[in-house]
Amino acid sequence: MPRSKPQKSSGPKKKPTSKSGGTPLGNAGEHHQKAGGKHPALTTNQGVPISDNQNSLRASERGPTLLEDFVLREKIMHFDHERIPERIVHARGTGVHGRFTLKKSLGRYTTAKLFTEVDVETPVFARISTVAGGAGSVDTPRDVRGFAVKFYTGEGNYDLVGNNVPVFFIQDAIKFPDLVHALKMEPDRAFPQAASAHDTFWDFISHTPEAMHMVMWQMSDRTIPRSLRMIEGFGVHSFRLINQSGKSTFVKFHWRPVLGLQSTVWDEAVKIAGADQDFHRRDMFEAILRGDFPAWDLAVQLFTEEEAEGFPFDHLDPTKIVPEEMVPLKVIGRMVLDRWPDNFFAETEQVAFCPANIVPGIDFSNDPLLQGRLFSYLDTQLSRLGGPNFHQIPINAPRAGVANNQRDGHMQMGVPTGRVAYEPQSLEPDKPRETDAGFRSCAQPTEDGSKGRIRAESFADHYSQARQFYRSQSPVEQAHMASALIFELSKVQTAHVREAMVAHVRNIDQDLAKRVAKGLSIDPLPTAPKPAVPVQDLPKSPATTLIPRMKETLEGRAVGILVAEGSDEGTVDSIRTAAEDAGAAVTVVAPTIGKLKTAGRKTLNADAQLAGSPSVFYDAVAVVLSESGGTMLAGEAAAKAFVADAFSHLKAIAADGGAQALLDAAGVMPDAGVVAASDTKAFIKAAKTRQWAREPEVRSKT
Ligand code: HDD
């Protein structure tokens, strides 16, 4: 929400702890205060004071620049190397510091202190990202969001590197480079940026039946979130927890946003991309600035090897969920993000996550995708961060301390002392040694079998959970999925790829296939590929839905009030107060920013200008105008779009009499979500949700 006013949240206001340090914005801003006061001398990287930072060394007033100008050369050399290779995936990310507090011990299942020491705060750094786009790409494409959390535990760093959907496209890491090459910009033309809606992606998917479950999630509203604060996170794979006696229990991790889930509608996401490329990053930044610290509950699903054997799927297959209805979630603690990084590059860009970063009491499962990831991330950091010592960069450095005999290498920051850099040894008794409390891999007996490039039979069912997901969704969500598939495939130029996808969808749900085929004018329906195993009709999983589980709330949301000269200040004030009391950030939008005269000849301050603040920035809008203001704005395209978009994006609209001319010009029809501006109670109630009943009136039925 650009330029929304700092406001009080009705949620608890916690000062950031000294552990996560400083103000929510770290030390940003401090530097400006130094101007004019006592300030340090500007120096070169060798510490040499600089007398002139504005002019390079010249042979004469209008003569050539001299090679001996070490101040210029050092400054330009450093600048030339300011960029490091961006991440091949998840390049666009937003990072925030915070803390995790355990509320329920998992002491029966694990020795990991992170999960056994109740009420202890563990510092964390979380980075939420899109997958496909480059570092400078927009925040709101249809895309899965990465959800990576680094826990700086007393036993070393633990990274939970997940996504906001609980399954993945492929079952084996060997396919990952192909998946990513198909997804990213096509290599000959270098477009589209940050989009899966193109031939190579869907060509690959149409050859990859195991992707069908993830594709259903990808086509759902989960991939067009309203805010990074309103998404779930999933560890995806099964991991193991190991207890004192070495017993292992499988675990799946889930992050649940305290603000609830919320998504945009597709047209809204597209328009946000044009209006504010940084919509999600700015939303997070402003929430932290206001003290509205986003929080997630961490929940676990726990099950034994024997229980897993009874599941109608293989939990080691990362294209499968363990439905909550089968294994309920236990909430064990909460993560609160409360401090924006001091420096984007040093922290968010240089943070190096790795699923192999685990601590004693946690272990991997045999999920073949996870096993491949354990290699990939460490390897990637060598090219991104330039050498083996990237763990010394402050954002990556464990707070638990490091003691070993590794030495030297690019960018070694430490100065190890002594003559012993090996082990076992007897020359320096104080040097680090193995410990009984150290990490031990779960002593799992390995299965007998032959070596080979094998896919387990138990991984063969590619459609049952895709069907389960689609059929579990509400009718509104199913319509959105059909529209999303039609949109994505309509961007595919190769007819046989579109047809191959519709053919797969027939194995998921016949009705969905018909809707998509109709939207793409594919007739007759293509023959469905023969599934490797019969598709099962699994029980519905309501926990996978989004819209039916949305929280009715204005907490963390935004309300825009459109005004002009002559608007009634009493109405504006009562709407603002009611919205703020309900937890929303309120922005007053007008044709001009700054002061305007109200009906009572008072002044009202507009926070934002209409042309740069479309209604896609807000969750609900109010339009408060005088008769003449309404007539004037009825002829203004940006005002009409403000109201028409709010209506078609299913948002509550409060309007007074003067606004009617604008509402008429924008084609707004009366319904339960269009309320009188004087009825703040009705407005707040409608603003806490979206008007799903309106959708068939504003969008063609798919
Ligand atoms: Fe990955 C980054 C999540 C499969 C290889 N991945 C990356 C990030 C997230 C994920 C959130 C960004 C971390 C950050 O913010 O810096 N990746 C996943 C999930 C997967 C998954 C949930 C499946 C369950 N990834 C996966 C596979 C491979 C990789 C199978 C390779 C075999 N991922 C990478 C990478 C990245 C990465 C190339 C790019 C930058 C980085 O690691 O640090 O190594």
Successive 10-residue mean pLDDT values, the chain, 702 residues:
39 39 48 58 95 96 95 94 96 98 98 98 98 98 98 98 98 98 98 98 98 98 98 98 96 98 98 98 97 98 97 97 98 98 98 98 97 96 95 97 95 95 96 94 85 95 98 97 98 98 98 98 98 97 97 97 97 98 98 96 96 97 98 98 98 98 97 98 98 92 64
Ligand 1: nearest atom to the Cα of 372:
32
Predicted local distance difference test score (pLDDT) of residue 25:
59
The three-state (H, E, C) secondary structure of 474-496, written as one string: CHHHHHHHHHHHHHHHHCCCCHH
Query: How is 400-426 classified by DSSP, letter by letter?
Result: T----S----TT------SS--SSS-S
Predicted local distance difference test score (pLDDT) of residue 37:
62
Q: Active-site positions?
A: 90, 163
Q: Half-sphere exposure of residue 687, counting CA atoms within 13 Å on the CB side?
A: 36
Mutate to test the pocket of ligand 1, among 84, 97, 161 (most ligand atoms within 8 A of CB): 161
What residues contact residue 397 under an 8 Å CB cut-off, 6+ apart? Answer: 391
Could you tell me what percent of the chain has a pLDDT over 70? 94
For ligand 1, atom 25, the nearest C-alpha belongs to: 373
| CA gap 187, 606 in Å, rounded | 46
| CA gap 86, 93 in Å, rounded | 11
Predicted local distance difference test score (pLDDT) of residue 446:
81
- 89 C-beta closer than 6 A to ligand 1: yes
- 173 C-beta closer than 6 A to ligand 1: yes
Predicted local distance difference test score (pLDDT) of residue 183:
98
- Nearest-Å Rg of the Cα atoms of the chain is 28
Predicted local distance difference test score (pLDDT) of residue 28:
43
Contact predicate 464/532, CB 8 Å: no
Predicted local distance difference test score (pLDDT) of residue 17:
40
Query: How is 38-60 classified by DSSP, letter by letter?
Result: S-PPPB-TT--B-S-SSS--BSS
Instruction: Look up residue 293 and give its DSSP letter.
Output: -
- 96 C-beta closer than 6 A to ligand 1: no
Output the pTM of the full model: 0.94
Beta bridge partners of 589: 562, 608
Burial 309-344 (b: 16+ CB within 10 A, else e): eeeebbbbbbbbbbbbebbebeebbbbbbbbbbbee
| CA gap 648, 656 in Å, rounded | 19
Predicted local distance difference test score (pLDDT) of residue 76:
95
- 93 C-beta closer than 6 A to ligand 1: yes
- 228 C-beta closer than 6 A to ligand 1: no
